[in-house]
Structure 1
Amino acid sequence: MRLLILLFISIGIGSIGYTQEIRYETVENISYVDETASDYAKEQCKLDIHYPASGDNVPVVLWFHGGGLTGGGKEIPTFLKEKGLVVVGVGYRFSPKVKVEDIIRDAAKATSFVMKNARKYNGDIDKMFISGHSAGGYLALMLTLNKTYLAAEGVDADQFAGIIPFSAQTITHFTARNEQGIKEEQPTIDELAPLFWVRKDAPPIVLLTGDRELEMLGRYEENAYLKRMLSIVGHKHTTLLEFQGYNHGMVYPGLPILLQEIKRLSDLRR
């Protein structure tokens, strides 16, 4: 059954629980790799952090940008600014200069860096969320369903309070398939597919997609299948929301829901 999302209901999108005046700052181009990294990694592997410079610690959301794992740039969605959050926009390397697995490892390094430094930016490490659009949503799911990438960086993926990808690929990403000479119209599920790693003990997951008739290459159906398989293995906290009338570029209608879900899942951690 399709879900019609009403975006202008009262969902408290002004902030995540803050009423006093808060001063926000943004720091840009923070490197999350060490000096032994390649010049390309030093150029790409940077992040921006928008954070409240006063007040109590607040939830943290990592935002991975889209672009098919071949392009794009780190970003902090304007809608998320000054909403009672620490928002981190993550940059990473691109195919074909590196393999998809290398990109996932970049995302893991960035995530580890943020978790280890969140308190410096008034971030609450018990309320960490991971999100992103399209390729960014794919990275969010790969990092949290396949725990080995974050474990290699000293992080337990189950520390996250929520996983909230926007229009993510849940089968093997088409750029990974391209590395294998497989056309993007040919679906594949292997170790580079979030679906391969379904597990009952993953943190709460909220899957957001555009209209199934307007989305890219079966993107809604991929997410619906992930939800179904998570349910089959016993995961009890998976939600799937479809934005009728919106295509793959469904970031804005999703952002108010992202805020709503961060608040809901944060409240569960109190």
Structure 2
Amino acid sequence: MKKSILLSLVLIFLGAQTILAQETTYILEENIPYINDENASEYAQERCKLDIYYPENKTDFTTVVWYHGGGITGGNKFIPEKLKKQGIAVVAVNYRLSPKVKCPVYIEDAAAAVAWTFQNIEKYGGSKNKIVVSGHSAGGYLTSMIGLDKHYLAKYDIDANDIAMLIPFSGHTVTHFTVRDERGIPGTQAIVDEYAPLYFVRPDAPPTIFITGDREQEMLGRYEENAYMWRMMKVAGHKNCKLMELDGFNHGEMASPALEVLLKEIRVLDK
């Protein structure tokens, strides 16, 4: 009896050691250039960098390319806390900002960072088939632009439809107000042109989830923009498009619960 108990204790101990040995660890690599241009300006060399946070002893994981907000005039890359230690990688992207550059430079930067991810993620153990693009506010706008206007990624011989999922947080679907400001158009005057995600509604786009804050607390009619975009995607025949309104959360506050939604939605990629 004593030997049996001792053996059980040994097996429990060895099992615990195995679990500890298999615990996922994470690595953060910072300030990796994502453009290869010897003639790049000093500003491009400063801003066109990304950080990658990834699980060290895991393979075939999902990667979230994350664009920060800031109205395309400010902000810096960061790894959202809620996306850490989730068994996924996060690629946090800096991009050039207005007024130092004009549209479409920052959209092109966003596309270059996604191209870098497609070209390099397998070196870190991730899957090219599980790349999700997301971001908040200006980052949500960039998400939709590079995922819907296919020509930005086509430059790198990448089909935008190969993105596993687009999850813009409270992003413009009309032409961004900073793009309008560069032309002297006020933020209250909406336009839809080649710099509006709405211009590129199509049925074959990647699965898309539009998330906004409370329509009564959002800025510049952001919920209504996204609701119309969602409706037009459905009218065009898109089969995997969702719209989510986070009641009680304003434009800034909605990012935190939206990250919970993102994690829930991308779990299906790992099944």
TM-score with structure 1 length normalisation?
Answer: 0.90
Look up the equivalent residue of 2:123 and give its one-letter code.
K
Identity of aligned residues (%): 53
Structure-1 separation of matches of 2:176 and 2:201: 16
1:113 aligns with 2:116: yes
Greater RCO (Cα-Cα under 8 Å, separation 6 or more)? 1
Structure 2: runs of 5 or more not aligned: 1-20
Tell which structure's C-alpha radius of gyration is larger. Answer: 2
Match of 2:266 in 1: 262
- Give the match's secondary structure for 2:52: strand
Match of 1:246 in 2: 249
Match of 1:30 in 2: 32
Match of 2:208 in 1: 205
Q: What's the RMSD between the two structures over aligned residues? A: 1.2
TM-score with structure 2 length normalisation?
Answer: 0.90
Match of 1:218 in 2: 221
Look up the equivalent residue of 2:30 and give its one-letter code.
E
Match of 2:10 in 1: none
- Give the match's secondary structure for 2:211: strand
Match of 1:94 in 2: 97
- Provide closer, same or farther for how the CA distance between residues 57 and 225 of structure 1 changes in structure 2, counting only shifts above 3 A: same
Structure-2 separation of matches of 1:246 and 1:112: 33
Task: Give 1:161 deviation, angstroms.
Answer: 1.0
- Give the match's secondary structure for 1:100: coil
Structure (1/2) with the larger helix percentage: 2
Look up the equivalent residue of 1:197 and give its one-letter code.
F
1:166 to 162, 165, 169: 169
Structure-1 separation of matches of 2:55 and 2:66: 17
1:139 aligns with 2:104: no
1:157 aligns with 2:155: no
- Give the match's secondary structure for 1:170: coil
Match of 1:46 in 2: 49
Task: Give 1:20 deviation, angstroms.
Answer: 4.5
Corresponding residue pairs, total: 249
1:171–1:193 contact (8 Å) kept in structure 2: yes
- Give the match's secondary structure for 2:104: helix
- Give the match's secondary structure for 1:143: helix
